[in-house]
Amino acid sequence: MNLTKRSVGVVLSVTGFTALGLGVPTAAADVTRVDANPGLSYTWTPDGGFEQRFGTNCIYALTAAVDNPAPVSFYDFQTASTVLPGHLARVIDGTATVAWIPHATGGHRIMAYQTSAGGPDVTVQVGTGIPLGPACFVLP
């Protein structure tokens, strides 16, 4: 193989720029959105009819949208809750999902994050729930 000075210069330049590009730190990945899904959880009032609500002791899905595959931590600032399979969830196709069971009524602020800086949060109101298999009835 016959390399000229110009060919060697191009190869070294491309290699140098590639090395510089790989050495540049990327921005820290964070959770871009967190959602709590009430699923088949309803309350009924004469004024409003059936409305979706969260209830105690019923199972809900918490989902976090992310921009990198690092595991996601979920945290409920209301200590009376359970996050399954634990506070750390695997990312699949840009989302991490866990099961969440609130055990106390009132406001629950739920945060999802990949770094210690924290991430977005969602606050949901939880009423007294009556689990009915995959569904939940929430007392008015």
Distance CA 71, CA 56 (A): 27
- Cα 32 from Cα 89, distance rounded (Å): 15
Phi then psi for 125, rounded to 5 degrees?
-95, 135
**What is the full DSSP assignment across 49-94?**
EEEE-EETT--EEEEEEESS-S-EEEEESSSSEEEES-SEE--BTT
Whole-number pLDDT of residue 22: 43
Residues paired with 92 in a beta bridge: 95
Q: State the residue for tokens 């989302």.
A: 95
pLDDT for position 68: 87
* pLDDT at residue 83 in the model: 87
- pLDDT < 70 positions in the chain: 1-29
pLDDT value of position 116: 76
Q: What is the pLDDT of residue 93?
A: 95
pLDDT of residue 104: 96
pTM of model > 0.85: no
* Alpha-carbon torsion (97, 104, 124, 57), positive or negative: positive
Average model confidence (pLDDT) for the chain? Answer: 82
Q: For the beta carbon of residue 69, count every other beta carbon within 10 angstroms.
A: 14
Q: Cα separation of 137 and 129, whole Å?
A: 6
d(CA 28, CA 26): 6
